């Protein structure tokens, strides 16, 4: 017979990467890079991951994809759920989730309005410039909410998701090329 038959059971220890957070955690640097280099398309993934992880953690029935697509209507609920999680854990974090969600929604509406004007060439080139100028502002407003989500997940700095993955680079390279071409075009205009 084998000696392993009498060995004590071995517990599987969870590593930091195995821990399931109730919300999507991401560091500021990674968030900003992905947001800016995907021209805001990262928001769909961001919203989906938040709702997917919240669904897994809470066990509530929901469709994370639908909530991501209609993030305009679900961001208040997401931030409210994060605020409840923070309070339930006994921690305190002053972040005004309702105000941040409202700022997010307003920025999203302005962005979509400008994008619609750009598609119709209304107000060219001012609407193009305004749309691009709004991008970092929208990223900052969204990241203010992300800080609350990070806090609710117990990782205020987003340290568990601060490294860029190969897939991140795949989605960022086209955006970096577009930004480089736009800057090159601006330099040609200035000369």
Distance between CA atoms of residues 104 and 100, nearest Å: 6
16 domain-assigned: no
Average pLDDT over every residue of 7-22: 59
Higher per-residue pLDDT: 13 or 127: 127
The per-residue pLDDT for 129 is: 86
Most confident of 71-75, 130-134, 179-183: 71-75
The per-residue pLDDT for 18 is: 46
Residue 40 · residue 111 · CB < 8 Å: yes
Query: pLDDT of 122-172, one tens digit each?
Result: 988 888 889 889 999 999 999 999 999 999 999 999 999 999 999 999 999
17 domain-assigned: no
Q: How far, rounded to the nearest angstrom, does the alpha carbon of residue 143 sit from its chain's CA centroid? A: 7
pLDDT band of residue 182 (cuts 50, 70, 90) is: confident
**Tokens 């919300």 correspond to what residue?**
23
**Tokens 């086209």 correspond to what residue?**
174
- Name which of 167, 182, 185 is nearest 34 in CA terms: 167
Query: pLDDT of 16-40, one tens digit each?
Result: 444 589 999 999 999 999 999 999 9
**Exposure pattern of 52-88 as b/e (b: 16+ CB <10 Å)?**
bbbbeeeeeeeebeebbeebeebbbebbebbbebbee
Distance between CA atoms of residues 80 and 149, nearest Å: 10
42 domain-assigned: yes
The per-residue pLDDT for 14 is: 46
Q: Which domain holds residue 119?
A: 24-190
Residue 43 · residue 112 · CB < 8 Å: no
53 domain-assigned: yes
Q: What is the mean pLDDT of the chain?
A: 90
147 domain-assigned: yes
For the cut 90, the answer to whether the pLDDT of residue 7 exceeds it is no
For the cut 60, the answer to whether the pLDDT of residue 1 exceeds it is no
What is the pTM (predicted TM-score) of this model?
A: 0.85
5 domain-assigned: no
3 domain-assigned: no
For the cut 80, the answer to whether the pLDDT of residue 52 exceeds it is yes
**Overall number of domains in the chain:** 1
The per-residue pLDDT for 124 is: 82
Distance between CA atoms of residues 23 and 155, nearest Å: 10
Residue 12 · residue 49 · CB < 8 Å: no
126 domain-assigned: yes
């Amino acid at each position: 017979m084998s000696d392993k038959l009498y060995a004590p059971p071995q517990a599987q220890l969870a590593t930091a990467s195995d821990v399931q957070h109730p919300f999507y955690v991401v560091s500021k640097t990674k968030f900003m890079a992905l947001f800016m280099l995907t021209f805001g398309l990262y928001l769909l993934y961001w919203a989906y991951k938040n709702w997917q992880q919240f669904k897994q953690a809470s066990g509530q029935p929901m469709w994370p994809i639908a909530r991501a697509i209609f993030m305009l209507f679900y961001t208040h609920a997401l931030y409210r759920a994060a605020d409840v999680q923070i309070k339930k854990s006994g921690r305190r974090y002053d972040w005004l989730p309702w105000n941040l969600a409202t700022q997010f929604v307003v920025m999203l509406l302005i962005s979509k309005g400008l994008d619609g004007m750009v598609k119709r060439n209304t107000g060219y080139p001012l609407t193009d410039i305004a749309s691009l100028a709004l991008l970092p502002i929208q990223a900052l407003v969204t990241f203010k909410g992300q800080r609350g989500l990070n806090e609710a997940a117990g990782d205020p700095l987003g340290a568990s998701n601060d490294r860029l993955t190969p897939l991140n680079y795949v989605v960022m390279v086209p955006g970096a090329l577009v930004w480089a071409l736009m800057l090159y075009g601006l330099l040609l205009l200035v000369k």
